[in-house]
Each structure stands twice: as structure tokens, then as C-alpha cells.
Chains A and B, each alone.
Chain A
Amino acid sequence: MSKKLLVIAEIRDGEFRNVSFEAVAAAKEIDSDGEIVGVVCGDSVADKANELFKYGADRVIAVEHANLSQYTPEGYAQALQAVIEKEDPDAILAGHTSIGRDITPKLASRLKSGLVSDATAIENAGSEVIFTRPIYSGKAFEKVVVKDGLIFATIRPNNIPALEKDDSRSGDAESLEVEIKDLQTIITDVVKNTTSGVDLSEASVIVAGGRGMKGKENFSILDELAEVLGAAVGASRGACDAEYCDYAMQIGQTGKVVTPDLYIAVGLSGAIQHVAGMSNSKVIVAINKDPEAEIFQIADYGIVGDLFDVVPKLTEEFKKVLV
């Protein structure tokens, strides 16, 4: 019997997050014949929500309410619980994003269900669905099955490819009226810091600096390289501890775990803490003046040299090739 699969999709700054499309693809992996129902919450999202059809959703539900203009756990829980009660899905998937990480455990508790967080692969083995997820920040992996009942998981960005956009698919989002009330979380202000607009966890290219950057001001050469590549800028713990940059930029076992297509490690030694957070990147480039640096052990390509010489030249060369 084919399954009904609910995908909690996320619109940020007017655009779907790519991981929402990846979650639709993940739902297809669970049951290629299943009915995929996308759900989008917000104050005015129905028009935008239709884009989800093009990435494989069979139906789309929009829950619109003024109280959903910003994410709050209570607001989203009310909206999503109403959808779950109405649809009674066999599986629920969401992106492992700030919102996904925050709302899914709350819903799982309500539903008294299991939840597999941060899955990087899904395999349908007939009688059961097997999720792969990193443990110890990617130093190891585990395969997890949901014993019975609801299959509920969050999907790590950049791991399960989204389906190709199919412009021939279209539809109209169904509107579900839900009363969203008694919110106790009052958001007084939001300060946007993501300068490049590229989020580390979803970036397909990351440029990261370590202690070898020697100072906060020198990160500007990484910003310039990142801009040419459309990349996000990250840092090692050493660089954050030395106050070259904010902890929000830290990649490693404490900090963010990332899996971009291309990771350019600049002036960082490759301490085990840091490597845990990035070693599963598809292609790793290391630039370091110390030929013995650990980072070269896991790099696909390495340049031994002074980063202050190499990085600006690299930026210029990428400009020529990419423009």
C-alpha cells in the first residue's frame, strides 16, 4: 500500500530553502509511489507554496496566519498538529535547519513517536526504512530504523539531491484555516548577520580560515574569495577562540558540521575537532605553509604556501574562469 508522506517545507526571505526540495526527494526514497503532501506555514505563503509541485509534491497545504509570520515553537506546533491530524501521514520529513531542529522534537513528543534527526541517506529495504546519520559529528555513522508507527525524520542539507525542477507540474495549494493563538514566545527583534547571504549549513562551497589568518581584519581576503565563488565563510575553533570571528562561523565538533561540494581550508592545521565537522565534504582543498599540517592528510588538493600570497591569486584566477 502506498504511503502518505508529509514534508514540512520552509520559506525564508521569500524563497524556499533548498533542503525543503531535498526533503521531497527524501520522501520519494521512502515510497516512490507515495503521495507527497507539502506543508508551508507563514503569513502569506500560498502563491509561493505552489513551487513545491515542480519539485515533486503531489499536494501542497498552506497554513496562513498573521501569527505565523515569524517562527515560534507554539505557533508552528499548532499549525502542524492541525495538518497532521487532518492528513494522518505515514511519514513526516523536514529539513534539519534551525526551525526543523526546534519543531520536530516538540511534535515527536506530542505524537509519542521516534524521530531520526539529521539523516544523510535513506534506503527503503522493503519492510523497513533505513536512515543513515552521522554520530560524533561525522567521526562515525549509524543506521537507524523506526520500529513501527510514524516514520519521522529531519534531513541534513546538501546530502540527498533534490529532484530536477519540472515546470510541467503545477497545482494550487490548499488552504487550511487554523487558529493560532496564545503565543508566549515574543520575538522583539531579529538581527541579520549572514553577510554573504549564504548559510554555512546549506552552502555548496565553503571557504574557512584558521589561526593562520593571524587577525580578524585578514578575513577580508576570504570574504573576497567567497564572493567570487558564491561561498559561505567559516572558521576553525582556533580562529574563533582567538576572536578573529564570531562563534556562529565555527565549524567542527563544537560548532557546525558541514558537507559542501567544495571546502577550501585556509591556514588551518586540521585538528581532529575541526576535521570532524568538515571531513565529509566532497572535495577538500588545503592551503597551508606547513607541509606537515594534518589537513593535507584529508585534502584532495593541497597548496603549500603563504596564504596571503595564494588566496588573492586564487580569487583572481577564479574570477577569470567563472565570469
Chain B
Amino acid sequence: MNIYVIMKRTFDTEEKIQIDSGEIVEDGAEFIINPYDEYAIEEAIQLRDEHGGEVTLVSVGDEEAEKQIRTGLAMGADKAVLIEDEDVENGDQFSTEAILAAYFKDQEADIILGGNIAVDGGSGQVGPRLAENLGINHVTSIVNIEIEDGKAKIERDVEGDQEFIEISLPLLVTAQQGLNEPRYPSLPGIMKAKKKPLETLDLDDLDLDEDEVEGKTNTVERYLPPEKEAGKILEGEIDDQVNELVSLLKNEAKVI
């Protein structure tokens, strides 16, 4: 099977966010593979080990993403493509869709896996957009997948309910937490990853003009939410505290 994973480099979820002149401060921050994309990579490796074929990682970003791509290769993916998007003005989800679609139209993917959302932008748009652009079906938020005879049996999470689906390949799916337990790269895996092929492409290589991939939306401001001040720690006997709390919620906060 030709298995592809679309992945993204993101801020470590442990990081505090700082903003300077409307931009997120990246200096000194730790970066990771988007956690949902890690589930996608793990699942791709398991599918390959069961059905044969190759796992190719595809990431749109800048050269800094190589570190996270190498981590994905160290987990067990076979090769990778980094599509540099530095020339894209005001890139948004439309831009990423257009870039990925230009790449994928020349590939014969049986299945494309991605994360349900990225923990930075959090829109969850790129997966379904790409599938639509390529004219293939998509299933979002999957927690289990089995493939047999060109068909996928999928369990997806629908706001806590489980939905069971059967659908033919080719297909794009997005991974939800609970799909699997991503492996840590082993030391031999890390050594091997250094030699695995990583192709770098730019817009020219994909016959794309900057205008074609310019974002449709514009971020005009970024800001931090007002810092929440520590509130009132209640005192006295537990019974009294409980009475006071209920009274405060009813009369002061007016939320019950």
C-alpha cells in the first residue's frame, strides 16, 4: 500500500505562549510533532507492517521542520517530503490545501492519514479540504481502522459516541486520541532515520504560483487572554465551606 501521512511541526503542549508585536515568540520554545499527527504516523507504520508498502511523511513548513520529520522517520516511516512554504503570503488552511493537493495529484495514495487537528491553529480543516480537492472520501476523528480487500472498517469518535463505518480506499482519515499509543523512536531507528530519503520541494517544483496559494483569510491580531486572578479560597469547617460555595455560586456568580 502507498501510505502517506500529512504532519506538522508544532509548539510543545507544555509551552507557555508569548506574543511580541502580534507574533508568537518562537525563541527558545520546544517543538514537537503535532500530537494528533503522531497517532497518524504510528497507525501508518502499523498498516504498512500488516499490509506491506511504504510510509511517506509529507509536511508543509520551513526547514526547521526537518527535526520533527526525522523523528517520524525514526519511528519507522520510510521516506519524507518537506514542502517549503516561505514564499506564501498570509498562508492559511486554503494555502496548505492547495500546496498539498499539488503534491498529491502526482502520487497514487491508497490512504492518507493526518491528525484530527493541530494543537496550534486548531482548525482541523486541512484533512477534509485535501480529500475534497483530490476527489477522495474522508473520515475524521478515527479511533480504530482495519483494512481488508481495498476496504476500510473504521470506528470514529462523534462527540463521545462511537460510529462504525465501512468505506473503500483511496481514503483520507484523521486521527483522534485513543487510536493507538505512538512508539518512541529507538536508538537504531534514530540512526537509520538519518539516512532515509528526505526530499525538499518548493512552490516552483510543484508548478505553483505564489498567487495561487495566497491565503483567503488574514490574521490581523494575536493576543493573550487576560490573566485570570486567583479567587477566593474558602475557610472554616468543610460543611460551612460547602454552604458558602453554593451560596456564592447562586448569589454572587449567578451560574446556578
Contacts and interface: CB of A to CB of B under 8 A. Distances in A.
Interface of A: 73-74, 77, 97-98, 101-106, 108-110, 112-118, 130, 134-147, 149, 184-194, 199-201, 205, 229, 246-250, 253-255, 257, 261-262, 272-273, 276, 279-280, 282-285, 291, 296-305, 309-310, 313-314, 317-318, 321-322
B162 A114 contact: no
24 contacts: A105-B132, A106-B128, A106-B138, A109-B133, A115-B94, A117-B93, A136-B122, A137-B122, A139-B224, A184-B167, A190-B162, A191-B164, A193-B161, A200-B160, A246-B160, A276-B13, A279-B228, A282-B253, A282-B255, A283-B255, A301-B248, A303-B234, A304-B233, A321-B246
B97 A187 contact: no
Given A118-B122, A303-B242, A253 B13 contact: yes
A261 B164 contact: no
Nearest to B22: A142
Q: Secondary structure at chain B's binding surface: helix, strand, loop or mixed?
A: mixed
A282 B254 CA distance: 11
B120 interface: yes
B123 to A, nearest CB: 4
Interface of B: 11, 13-14, 16-17, 19, 24, 35-36, 92-94, 97, 119-133, 137-141, 157-168, 176-178, 215-225, 228, 230-234, 238-239, 241-243, 245-246, 248-250, 253, 255-256
Given A109-B133, A137-B119, A149-B216, A229 B241 contact: no
B92 to A, nearest CB: 6
A104 B127 CA distance: 12
Contact of B225 (A106, A193, A273, A280): A280
B144 to A, nearest CB: 12
Nearest to A240: B177
A293 to B, nearest CB: 11
Contact of A190 (B141, B161, B255): B161
Contacts of B137: 73-74, 184-185
Contacts of A305: 238, 241
B156 to A, nearest CB: 9
Contacts, number: 254
A215 to B, nearest CB: 20
A239 to B, nearest CB: 13
A280 B226 CA distance: 10
Contacts of A112: 94
B169 to A, nearest CB: 11
Given A299-B230, A321-B256, A313 B220 contact: no
A77 B162 CA distance: 22
A253 B122 CA distance: 10
Contact of B234 (A106, A188, A301): A301
B256 to A, nearest CB: 7
Given A200-B160, A285-B249, A144 B97 contact: no
A98 B94 contact: no
A227 B92 CA distance: 42
B160 A193 contact: yes
Given A109-B132, A139-B17, A283-B249, A247 B217 contact: no
B231 A272 contact: no
B128 A109 contact: yes
Given A101-B140, A106-B138, 15 more contacts: A73-B137, A115-B217, A130-B220, A140-B19, A140-B225, A142-B219, A146-B218, A189-B163, A199-B159, A201-B159, A272-B13, A279-B225, A284-B231, A298-B228, A303-B233
A13 B157 CA distance: 17
Please indicate which of the listed interface residues B132, B158, B238 has the most CB atoms of chain A within 10 Å of its own CB.
B158
B9 to A, nearest CB: 14
A69 to B, nearest CB: 13
Contacts of A192: 161
A301 B216 contact: no
A272 B11 CA distance: 13
A254 B220 contact: no
